[in-house]
Amino acid sequence: MAYFVLAQDEFKVASEKSQGMGRAVGYFKKTSAEFERAKAVVALVPSNYQENFNTKYADVVKLRDKAINENKTIYFEKELPIEQVTAPAAQNFVKLEAVMENLQGKLAIEDKLRQLVPP
């Protein structure tokens, strides 16, 4: 799914800046290749997960074909080979939050409970 997110971002940037569609095509091809590899695993899970997977895979294929078609008819850029598609960095998909502020902060209920139990 991380490749799909990156591919969608590349497609969006290419559409806005009118360049970079070859890179987006490469990311979509890598995404569809990863989905093909995952089919063997998805066949072992319950059918409702398979339906979700198939729906998402259909979206990938549709966007991939659209990107390829636009690249051939509008942009005429060289496609990025699948081998050159960089792997997504895990840190880019994790939102880090400061935990200490939450742990050391005063809770609103403490004022109410203070009346019941002396400090």
In tens, the pLDDT along 63-87 reads 999 999 999 999 999 998 999 988 8
Give me the mean pLDDT over the 41-56 stretch.
88
Structural domain count of the chain: 1
Query: Which domain, by its residues, includes 29?
Result: 2-86
- Residue 16 tokens read as 């806005």
What's the predicted TM-score (pTM) here? 0.70
Residue 64 domain-assigned?
A: yes
Residue 95 domain-assigned?
A: no
CB 75 within 8 A of CB 14: yes
Find the helix or strand (DSSP H, E) in which 5 lies. Answer: helix 2-17
Residue 114 domain-assigned?
A: no
* 96-to-60, 89, 90, 92 alpha-carbon distances in Å: 28, 14, 12, 10
- Residue 101 tokens read as 């502020």
Residue 44 domain-assigned?
A: yes
